[in-house]
Structure 1
Amino acid sequence: MSQFTVTGRFKNRDGFAEFETTIDAENENVAREHALSQLGSQHRLKRTEIDLEEVVEQ
C-alpha cells in the first residue's frame, strides 16, 4: 500500500476550512474515497460540501 496526502477544503459555519490528511491506500481513487468518508464522518459533512484539491502519492 502507498501513502497519499490529500488536501482540500470543506464548508463549515464560518465559511471554508482547509485540511491536509495522509491516508494509506492502494491507489489514488481509494485515497479520495477514504478522505471523503473520514471527513464526512468526523465533521458531519456531505460529499458535496467537501472539495478535494490535490491527491499526491508519497
Structure 2
Amino acid sequence: MLGWSVTFFVIAIIAGVFGFTGIAAATAEIAKILFFIFLVLFVLSLIFGGLRKPRV
C-alpha cells in the first residue's frame, strides 16, 4: 500500500513538472488517500496484532 502511494506521488511530481496539472492533482489525491489508508491499517495492526495470544 505504501509502495503504491509513493508510486502515485512520483507520477504526480513528474506530471507537474511537464505541466499536466490535472493529472498531477488527481494522482496526488490518490497518493494521499492511499497513504492515509496505509496509516489506518498500520495502526490497527499494531493495536490488534498485539492482542492475539501466542501459540504454544
* Superposition TM-score tier, normalisation by shorter sequence: 0.3 to 0.5
State the TM-score, normalized to the length of structure 1: 0.34
State the TM-score, normalized to the length of structure 2: 0.35
Greater strand share, structure number: 1
Q: Which has the higher contact order (CA 8 A, sep 6+)?
A: 1
Which has the greater radius of gyration?
2
Greater helix share, structure number: 2
